[in-house]
Chain A
Amino acid sequence: MAMKVYGDGMSACVARVLLCLHEKETEFELVPVDLFACHHKLPSFLSMNPFGQVPVLQDDDLTLFESRAITAYIADKHKDKGTDLTRHADAKETAIVKLWSEVESHHFNPAVSAVIHQLIVVPLQGEKSPDAAIVEENLEKLGKVLDVYEERLGKTKYLAGDSYTLADLHHVPYIYYFMKTSHAGLVNDRPNVKAWWEDLCSRPAFLKVSPGLTIAPVTN
């Protein structure tokens, strides 16, 4: 039976999982969850993910949540097909992939998701205007992270080395949304980061997933 992913393709966290499934050439079924109708807060959904968030993955009797745990599971289960996303044959390379995955998790994601939340999610909720101070503070943090990436990507083609891995993949959905804002210069003004992004968004798996990333941010 094909894996089931519960969520909507416009969610960055769901897109993270879909990218991984495509890179691994793995069949799956996308089961829509109506976030606007708050179906992710219903008891039937909470029994799968008590944190009430998408995505959820079901693979036979296994139910998983947290997108980065799901991608790690898919990459491990199908390590012998598709793109090698974890460099599993070499313990040192595996460790470096995990290192840059943690960098995405704890340095890149908090800053970029705070900006996206203000410029995309807040306007959708319709009650308030984006908080300019939060945007500015997080753009500054994001700039510092991207400075580190600029230097790193001057030495290696991808973050964990010369191969595309989960460490790169995890960034893709939020960078895609970020590039739709008026702050895309943070990426475009850094030549190595720009070249890396252009490579990531030319991959066939991305071209399959990006049509689902439909939310448009407020331009300011």
Chain B
Amino acid sequence: MAGIKVHGVPISTTTMRVLTALYEKGLDFELIPVDMKGGAHKQEPLISLNPFGQIPVLIDGDLTLFESRAVTEYIAEEYNDKGEKLLCQGCKKLKAITKVWLQVEGQQFDPIASKLAFERVFKGMLGMTTDPAAVEDLEAKLVKVLDIYEARLSKSPFLAGDCFTLADLHHLPIIYYLMGTDSKKLFQSRPKVSEWIKKITARPAWVKVLHLQKQ
């Protein structure tokens, strides 16, 4: 097996997404820390690996990838036979529905939830002040998405159907951060969403990623 390398940091939501997929698959990898404060992600050698100057970057043999959701899909497909399944096996219908919910996370949930996490969590880390009006506006938008999730999860235990997939996994980092803030009420007040969060955050791979943050 080629040695997989990940350039990233354990507190980064996008790095966490990729590390979770690697742990789910039981793959060995080396996490190469990036000096974000020093702007290493915007300079050589990383800027040549990802011209958008963002983490994570994954290197697997002669393949260099960025964009966390492209990276996790690669891991899920290339290493389909290893570790936990991250894509529904079997029929094309399930595969297609998984693609729908992968896009839902990327297009409907993340644009709102990541801005909310920025306001509630990351602004503080950067010495900036949370904007209460922005929080209120973002929460009002997020509840509309979560109502759809509540209805969906009343029909199936996971977003794409009966099995845990990348569509669930991609939500983990942002939900984790929001659950540590007052925004947690939006999730806790929805029983099916709550139950889903408990299930996906209990997975051993996710627990290992959180453990990395403590090191």
Query: What residues make up the interface of A, taking CB atoms closer than 8 Å to B?
Result: 50-51, 61-62, 64-66, 68-69, 72-73, 76-77, 91-92, 94-96, 98-99, 101-103, 105-107, 110, 148, 151-152
Contacts and interface: CB of A to CB of B under 8 A. Distances in A.
B63 interface: yes
Contacts of A106: 67, 106
Given A64-B97, A152-B51, A69 B66 contact: no
Interface of B: 51-52, 62-63, 65-67, 69-70, 73-74, 77-78, 92-93, 95-97, 99-100, 102-104, 106-108, 111, 148, 151-152
B47 to A, nearest CB: 10
Contacts of A101: 70
Contacts of A99: 65-67, 70
A66 B103 contact: yes
Contacts of A69: 96, 99-100, 102-103
B51 A95 contact: no
Nearest to A102: B67
24 contacts: A50-B151, A50-B152, A51-B148, A66-B104, A66-B107, A69-B102, A76-B92, A76-B95, A76-B96, A92-B62, A92-B63, A96-B65, A98-B67, A98-B69, A98-B74, A99-B67, A102-B67, A102-B70, A102-B106, A103-B52, A105-B107, A107-B52, A110-B111, A152-B51
Given A64-B96, A73-B96, A77-B92, A95 B74 contact: yes
A103 B104 contact: no
Q: How would you classify the secondary structure of chain A's contact residues: helix, strand, loop or mixed?
A: helix
Contact of B65 (A64, A95, A148): A95
Nearest to B99: A69
Nearest to A67: B103
10 A-B pairs with the lowest CB-CB distances in the bound complex, closest first? A66-B103, A102-B67, A69-B99, A99-B70, A98-B70, A95-B74, A69-B100, A69-B103, A73-B96, A102-B70
Contacts of B103: 66, 68-69
Q: Which of A51, A91, A98, A103 has the most chain B CB within a 10 Å cutoff? A: A98
A72 B77 CA distance: 15
Contact of B52 (A50, A77, A148): A148
Contacts of B97: 62, 64
Contacts of B99: 64, 66, 69, 72-73
A61 B93 CA distance: 9
Contacts of B111: 110
A161 B66 CA distance: 16
Give the residue among B52, B66, B99, B100 with the most A Cβ atoms within 10 A: B100
A11 B62 CA distance: 39
A68 B70 CA distance: 13
Contacts of A105: 106-107
- Scoring A66, A96, A101 by chain B CB atoms within 10 A of each residue's CB, the highest score goes to A66
Given A64-B96, A91-B78, A102 B102 contact: no
A98 B148 CA distance: 27
A105 B78 CA distance: 22
B93 A50 contact: no
A209 to B, nearest CB: 21
